[in-house]
Structure 1
């Protein structure tokens, strides 16, 4: 909410919420120093937060999408390559002064080998776009009119929305492994934000970057023993950071998501060093009481007011929440051959049915666990689905939901695989509050004003002091003082007490 120079108020409204889907088509070439593609195993997309440019009634968004590719070569080894591409999309805006905010998540990714060292990738990206705009509440009066006007004020609840994208957050860690002369085949990272809180002029995020490494030994021991299967190593890099955002206060709600922008590894002996760059995208939402003009008039003038029904956006839920899931399927249930050894697992979340009813938002979906396994001399990938249903308290006519799986653990015992994914859900939802402020007012002289110095009026049942004052174009304070009444009770029909009639002063 903001106050303008003419002393009337502006309120922030959510003008539009929409989901925009677009496809990103890319081609990835494998460098000559890596083996040729025998079997494509997995493609991971990472969509970085967009830059925004507003022009000609449209919001133009652009950014980078990064791909990590894992494949098996003809020599039976695992290889990793990566590349990045740019994306663009636009959204039409509703009115001037709009402030759109977009959160992007990869939806579906499909990879296809088109040559021994080349593959085509098609990635469908979902953009959840919210559009916010400040609009004036009430009429605009001249300074002279503001001093003379009689105003019946009221107040309405409205929402405040803030959004920001952080600078790159740099994290480092080094650790020793039990591997001798380890080689990092693949390194991927996910941002986990279990705690996001609003504070004075900022959003505080406490979380960790979960780095998953797929490593193998290439030392003399591995050569002597004929080599061994790669092993998965997981490291957590904790962090706490404050995203500066002017106007946010501690009573507001907040949510945030993050994306790993860059991940580098170096190996010295049996020690692995990590260097991670992550970007956070956060929103804060809060409540505010906005005064508005319900009615007004000028004394001794005929005042005609026009009110316009409006709706204010009020946030009802804005938070991060994480859930621990588990499942114990057998190898056959997830399509893995007998004797398969699960080497690594990664997971993502798919949101299905969404409902808002009876003061609660419920979300159903499934976690897709992708298991990298080795059977015989072959590499393969199996999939297990774990359903979930989560709920958030709060009325919500419209809401945005983001879900990810920053961490998934796996344990294999004979023919049973125990999966333990950590589901992270981020939600922003809101409802609307209706009100009708005065938008226009027209003043004209009162006909037959001042016919006598004193008149009498008998209030009808339920009639208020404001209604009588407006009818006779008299200041409420003057009418109340002439009759020994409380001028503060303008809309109280019980203000009269034992008073049967009112004296109406013709001069004030």
Structure 2
């Protein structure tokens, strides 16, 4: 007979962490009412968080990607368009994880754009090739109770250990709206483009839900059309939001983070007022730690057993939070290849994290802020690309760290200072970290048939140096409680080195 009793040894352990490239191709045709494309300035993909479906031995992820297109028309003016496509990828499940049918699995995926190649193939038509990188993590609940073969009474020696527990939510969508008033000027106001970032401000957990407040910051590119070429200008509209995100397993003592992405943005102009409506997708994640009971040893009175132990890799929960930090750097116009006559319009930026590793008692996070400056020089619109390095430190250091880092947005501004350009940026990040620790657990015990043993009424045992109450009990095939009661000592921690402290001999009942 085989038994596999839980003994509170059900733990959530990682079973996969991998990344894979995704290639997307699209042909985008602008509607006839849009201006023709004379010169393309940029195509920026914005990914919405994917939804997941578990079934058929795999996990399918899918979500929308929205392309923001900025270009110059035949009249020399700035225009924009948007186009939405879908992306999808899968994660295969193997072995016991596949056999579980998806029960008690916690799986997440994050996708980020790596490169975009575009080509104009018609007056209102362009082709896009976009390479994404998907990062996937999976956790499954396993029972680490030893498998025992044979009948009989069992005595177990267990210890308590800490292990992490994570829970992932699904994207929740909401709509934010608001308006802003622009300074009075000559000419009719036109919205050229709108780019939005969701910035969670406060994240708190309750039982089964996460409460999140924040704001959507919409960067508007505006122009006044009065017959003469006028320089477009940037403005910022903030849309507050508040949402209750369902999250199974969320608890008040768990650490939480929320990631967000802005989808469609609609703008309407009435006089000097711009009304803005944006759709937002928010995803909540939480992690905490729990105590699990692991079996170190066991025996059955009067029987000999073969034991097999294994080393299991457990994980510890690290930080799980939303945070932000600032960077500032100066670049000379000569470094950027710009002349003194350059006219700055708008700067957008992307965050590329290149290093994540412990350094001392903290964790270093470093990378580049990739800036794209829309400007006008010599009467022509252009985009100047440059990078600014950044370094920041996170609290806590782990020997083995798996740091999930989504950098969904940053706010960046440029200030002209003579022949230099000062760049000030605020980077908002959603972070979840974990580390791994190794522990030895008993995996299997195979008992031989019991043998009849002759016992005298009472024996005396003189424990050797280093012996514990447990080792004596195992040798004589008696429960720790019985031996402790017979000798008026405690059986609370029979495997502890001090369990026989001060004991010269033991009466074996």
Q: TM-score, normalised by structure 2?
A: 0.90
Segment drifting more, 366-375 vs 404-413: 404-413
How big is the shift at 1:485?
A: 2.0
Contact 2:43 2:118 in 1 (8 A): yes
1:68 maps to 68
Segment drifting more, 395-404 vs 453-462: 395-404
How big is the shift at 1:244?
A: 2.1
How big is the shift at 1:264?
A: 0.7
Cα 1:100–1:228 shift into 2, 3 Å:
same
1:159 maps to 164
Equivalent-residue separation in structure 2 for 1:128 and 1:89 (angstroms): 11
**Residue 214 of structure 1: which of 221, 226, 232 is its match?**
221
Output one character per residue of 1:70-93: Cα deviation in whole Å (capped at 9) or x when no partner. Answer: 000121111111111111222233
Contact 1:400 1:429 in 2 (8 A): yes
Give the secondary-structure state (helix, strand or coil) at the position aligned to 1:328. strand
Segment drifting more, 303-312 vs 462-471: 303-312
Equivalent-residue separation in structure 2 for 1:263 and 1:461 (angstroms): 75
**Residue 406 of structure 2: which of 402, 405, 426 is its match?**
402
How big is the shift at 1:487?
A: 2.2
Correspondences of 1:251-262 after superposition (within 5 Å): 251-262=253-264
Contact 1:405 1:421 in 2 (8 A): no
What runs of 5+ residues in structure 2 fail to find an aligned partner? none
How big is the shift at 1:425?
A: 2.5
1:306 maps to 308
Cα 1:357–1:93 shift into 2, 3 Å:
farther
Contact 2:7 2:145 in 1 (8 A): no
Q: CA RMSD in A?
A: 2.4
**Residue 103 of structure 1: which of 110, 115, 120 is its match?**
110
Q: TM-score, normalised by structure 1?
A: 0.90
Correspondences of 1:326-341 after superposition (within 5 Å): 326-341=328-343
Output one character per residue of 1:289-314: Cα deviation in whole Å (capped at 9) or x when no partner. Answer: 11122222233444544333211121
Note if 1:170 corresponds to 2:191.
no
Cα 1:394–1:193 shift into 2, 3 Å:
farther
1:368 maps to 370
Give the secondary-structure state (helix, strand or coil) at the position aligned to 2:321. strand
Contact 2:158 2:296 in 1 (8 A): yes
How big is the shift at 1:413?
A: 4.8
1:19 maps to 19
Equivalent-residue separation in structure 1 for 2:498 and 2:173 (angstroms): 62
What runs of 5+ residues in structure 1 fail to find an aligned partner? none
2:438 maps to 434
Cα 1:175–1:498 shift into 2, 3 Å:
closer
Contact 1:51 1:62 in 2 (8 A): yes
Correspondences of 1:108-127 after superposition (within 5 Å): 108-127=115-134
Correspondences of 1:291-302 after superposition (within 5 Å): 291-302=293-304
Equivalent-residue separation in structure 2 for 1:425 and 1:298 (angstroms): 54
Task: Give the length in aligned residue pairs.
Answer: 494
